[in-house]
Each structure stands twice: as C-alpha cells, then as structure tokens.
Amino acid sequence: MSIKPPVVWCVGGSDSSAHAGLQADLRTGQDLNCHVQTIITCITAQNSKEVRSVEPVSLTMFDEQWQTLLDDVPPNAIKVSLLPSIEIVKACSNWLKLIKIYFPKVQVVFDPVMAASSESGNQLQQTDAGASLLDHILPYVDVITPNLMEFSALTGLSGELAIEDLQAEMTPYFAASESRWLLKGGHCSHLDGSTDWLVDRNSIIGFASERLSVHNTRGTGCTLSTALASFIAHGYDFLDAMTMAKAYITGALKTGVQIGEGAGPLGRPGWPLQIENLPTIVTPNNPTTSISLPFAKMDLDKMGLYPVVDSIAWLELVLKQGVKLAQLRIKDPDDEYLENKIQQAIALGKEYDAQVFINDYWQQAIAFGAYGVHLGQEDLDLADLAQIQAAGMRLGISTHGYYEIARAQSIQPSYIALGHIFPTQTKDMPSQPQGLTRLAHYATLLKGVFPTVAIGGINAERLSAVAQTGVDSVALVTAITKAVEPEAATRSLICLFEMHLNTQRNKGGK
C-alpha cells in the first residue's frame, strides 16, 4: 500500500497558460510528493505574453469548494494566492478563521499576487490591496511572501529601506498579527545576489542565492510559496521548510523551459538534494560568512564508528579497541580537572593515531593543540571560528535539519553531524527526531562535499539501517557505555559498520 501523501490546499486563480497559478501549484505539489487540492478564485485568460482577462468565480461557488473539501479531509497546509474581489477576500478570511479554530496546527502561506511575473507586468489583483488583504487575511496566516513591489503596495513602505529600518517600520503589522514576512528580493535589479529576508518582530534572517541570468521565470512566486507549504505539510520545521523552498526554487529556475513567445515556466527539479542550490544563511550585520577557506580535512579512512564519551577512561577504552574517531564531551564547564582531561584526550589521540575531537571547549583545544573541536549551533555565534581555523584544527558542526545544514556548509567545516536520528537517552532535544528518510536525504545532499556523521539514539540494532543511508560515520554513546561488555561491544560495532561500508563501496563500484 502506498503511503498517503500530505494534503495541501491551494487557493488561487486558474492560469490558462499553465505557467503559474493553480496549474503551477499542482505541478509543484506533485513534484514534492504532496496531494494538492484546489479552491479556484478566478478564471484567467493568459499566455506567456499577457494576462488578457480575469473573471472571479461566484461567491457561492467559492464557499462551496471550501465546504466540500472540508467535509472530506482537512489539509496539512494551505497556500493562498490570487483573491480577485473584496467579497472573495472576506469569504477567504472567514474560512481561514474557521481553519485556525478547528485545526490550529494547520499553517497558512499567503502569496499576495498582484501582478504576473512576466515582462508585461499585467495587473491581476482587483482589490484595494492594502485595506482588504492585510485587514482580512493577515490575522490568519503564518507567513506572507510578497516581493518588494507587492510589499510596497500592501504597506506603503519603501522596499529600498535597509532591512533593519524596515523591521522597525513594520511594528504595527507585527502588533496586529504573529505572521512572519518573507520579503523576496528577486526583483531588486540593483543587487548582485538575490536575498529573501524572513522578518518578524524578533529576528531577521536572510536566505541568499546567486542571481541567475535566466529567461524562463514565470510562476516563481507561485512555486516558492507552494514549495514552502508542501515542505511544511511534510512536517518540516518552518526554517527547514524555508531553506528547502529556497533550494527548490533555485533548481526550478535552472531548469525552466521555453514555452510560448514570452517568459516560459519554471522547471520542476524534484526533491532538493543538490548542495549548490542551498541558500547561504545571512544576517544584516553579517551579509557573508567570515570563513573564506575550508577547515582542515578529515582522514576519511579513519572515519567509521564515532564514540562520544564523557571521561578519559571511556576514551582510552574505545581507542584500545581500534576506534580511530572519537569525541570527549565533558558536560560540566566547572570541572576542576577540565584542562587536564583535555590534555589527556589529546595525548591519547596521538598515542593511538586517532582523530579525537573536543566538544565545546575550543579555547582549551587551541591552547593544547587538539586535533579538532566539535561545536553545536548555539556555539557558532560565540566561538572565534577564524582563530580555530588559524590553529589548523578540524571543525565538526552539529545540525538538526536543512536550515542548520545550510548555515554549517557556508562555514566549510571538516564534517557535518546530522541528528538526532532517533529519540535519545543522553539529553533533551529541542528538535524532532530526523528519522532514516531525512537522514538519507541529508547524506545525498552532502555526499562528496562534506563528510557526514549520524548521531542520536543509534544502537547496535539500528546501526545497519543508519549505515545504509550513505553516511560516512555513526556516532554512538550509550550503545557502548551501557553495554554489558563495552570492549566486545565496541569491536563488534566497528566490524558491523565496516562491513556495511564495504558493501556500499562495492555497490558504488559496480
């Protein structure tokens, strides 16, 4: 039996050219393994060159579509776009209000379509945009995705303001709604790159991509917002879904096709598994990463089983069994013997010719000449990455999804840890378990670019399935430290992973 795909409702207009609108939504959802159901707001007569006519559906028909779908199956996410009349705007507002009451976990993406993205710039929206859309729709959406022209039309604010100033000017909108705003930068011809800014009352995050010189760009806004809704429907956290949607749109722009005399539609590139399409995560104060060169490389022949231990005794035990990659993770920063333990760990690494990483304590790791240091996401804002790199140390970075992978890859670390894969016993995790399907996607995304380490809840029974995803290394904690015979368990785990590694290599050689 096939697995039921997530359901996405797309509310918008029918595009007779199938370059944009609901036809583009259907193709995008299908490409991302979602079942798209449509609520048609209007019929348009358009081709690649112009929008010739827009005719709204009757209010009765609009309401009947909502009710009929709702009587059958609720959505996992909703995307709203073209609303061609004030009556339909108000009706849509009422339906979204009901959705939020009865299905509060259903997220709504709002793409306020006002003009076709073709060179003609034909107007589609038939309403008083600022008054009707924001007053009636904004309270019930989770993210609104205007380009800068649409943003200015909605708010009266200039898209040319510095992003920090723009956030301050948007205070009244943040007071009226919890909605995030994704300000798309693709229409800013004066910028070298294309940065979309995700803005709310507390934060500003930029998703930067190289500006592409492509002609077939129709349906860019439709595709981005539907991709975002699709990834949300699959259960991804919002920042992960945003990162994936940005990578998807880059792939779609690269694969656009020429159909008609005007700008053609985007391609449908499939699940985002190409690392070159990932956006660079930036902030207004740090528009580019400060790390211009990659960190020192790992010895891939010494990757494999990766025990993470909290004492020198455990570290020595696993190294004696033949482990060539290990991490010392001391949780108490006030441990009076902390520096001594780090020095011992470094010495053991040299004695057993192993790659020993120190978790968190990068200053001490530099001072005592450690092989490498492992940092979590929260440490990246505090650690002096340039100093770590200047010391010649390797750097490993923990990630918990696409957003953090995108953030990590711009730093060019020595390896990227992917977790947590299963529920863990060692600490409470703020993120959800990733599972094997997502792990396989991450491994494919990073293959040949960054070595990968799977971590989190992995035991001997799960090791084989984890290894088959294609990761380069598997981190274990309690599978060794809680084993009845830790030495024998370590040797067995080493052999088990190497067996699967060799199988994968043989498959790759055929």
The CATH number of the domain holding residue 33 is: 3.40.1190.20
Is residue 324, in this structure, part of any structural domain at all? yes
Share of the chain above pLDDT 90, in %: 76
- Give the pair of three-digit tokens for residue 218: 């129709």
Collapsed DSSP state (helix, strand, coil) of residue 17? coil
Residues 57 and 139 reside in one and the same domain: yes
The verdict on 334 and 232 lying in the same domain is no
Domain boundary among 282, 308, 324: 282
Least reliable range by pLDDT among 46-55, 245-254, 442-451: 46-55
Q: Which amino acid is at 312?
A: I
Examine residue 1 and state whether it is found in any structural domain, yes or no: no
327 assigned binding-site residue: yes
Lowest-confidence region among 344-348, 390-394, 431-435: 431-435
pLDDT at 187 over 80: no
User: Considering only 35-49, 347-361, 422-436, which range has the smallest mean pLDDT?
Assistant: 422-436
Is 295 inside any structural domain?
A: no
- Strands (DSSP E) found in 405-489: 415-418, 452-454, 473-476
Q: Tell whether 23 is in a known binding site.
A: no
Checking if the pLDDT of 190 tops 70, the result is: no
User: Domain check: are 278 and 366 in the same one?
Assistant: no
pLDDT at 248 over 50: yes
In a domain, 289, yes or no: no
- The reply, when asked if residue 214 is annotated as ligand binding, is no
- For strand 280-282 and strand 204-210, is the pairing parallel, antiparallel, or unpaired? antiparallel
Same domain, 113 and 262: yes
Known binding residue 283? Answer is no
Q: What is the CATH number of the domain that holds 310?
A: 3.20.20.70
| Domain identity same for 339 and 449 | yes
How confident is residue 125, by pLDDT bands cut at 50, 70 and 90? low
pLDDT recorded at residue 192: 47
Task: Residue 376: count other Cβ atoms within 10 Å of its Cβ.
Answer: 15
pLDDT in tens, 206-241: 999 988 888 888 889 999 999 999 999 999 999 999
CA gap 323, 315 in Å, rounded: 9
Separation CA 233–CA 4 (nearest Å): 12
Considering the domain architecture, whether residues 46 and 166 belong to the same structural domain is answered as: yes
49 is in an annotated binding site: no
The Cα 335–Cα 322 span in angstroms is 28
- The length of the chain in residues reads 510
Question: Is 330 labelled as part of a ligand binding site?
Answer: yes
Residue 290 placed within a domain: no
User: Same domain for 311 and 273?
Assistant: no
Ligand-binding annotation for 171, yes or no, is: no
The burial class, CB within 10 Å (0-12 / 13-18 / 19+), for 479 is buried
Q: What mean pLDDT do residues 410-437 have?
A: 86
Pair 185, 323 in one domain: no
Q: Strands of 204-210's sheet, edge to edge?
A: 51-56, 35-46, 7-15, 77-80, 107-110, 143-144, 180-183, 193-199, 204-210, 280-282
Nearest to 355 by CA among 453, 213, 241, 432: 453
Separation of CA 271 from chain center: 12
| CA atoms of 167 and 429, how far apart (whole Å) | 31
Whether the predicted pLDDT of 249 surpasses 80: yes
Cα(233)–Cα(6) distance, integer angstroms: 6
- Check residue 191 and give its pLDDT: 44
The answer, yes or no, to whether residue 447 has pLDDT greater than 80, is yes
- Tell me: do 205 and 324 sit in the same domain: no
Let me know whether 391 and 262 are in one domain.
no
**131 located within any domain:** yes
440/485 same-domain check: yes
| DSSP bridge partners of 194 | 209
Q: 444: pLDDT confidence band, cut at 50, 70 and 90? A: very high
Domain hosting 204: range is 7-282
Distance separating alpha carbons of residues 250 and 47, to the nearest angstrom: 23
Same-domain pairing of 498 and 352: yes
Indicate the range of 12-26, 245-259, 394-408, 424-438 predicted with least confidence. Answer: 424-438
User: Is 334 known as a binding-site position?
Assistant: no
Average pLDDT value for the chain: 90
Least confident span in 38-52, 200-214, 345-359, 494-508 = 494-508
Q: Is 424 annotated as a binding residue?
A: yes
Confidence at residue 425, expressed as pLDDT on a 0 to 100 scale: 66
Q: For the residues 353-381, what does the mean pLDDT come to? A: 96
Residue 420, both tokens: 């947590």
In-domain check, residue 208: yes
Residue 90 annotated as part of some ligand binding site: no
Q: What is the pLDDT of residue 219?
A: 85
Q: Is 360 annotated as a binding residue?
A: yes
DSSP per residue, 225-269: HHHHHHHHHTT--HHHHHHHHHHHHHHHHHT----SSS--B----
The answer to whether residue 78 is domain-embedded is yes
What's the structural domain count of the chain?
2
142 is in an annotated binding site: no
Rounded Cα distance between 135 and 92, Å, is 12
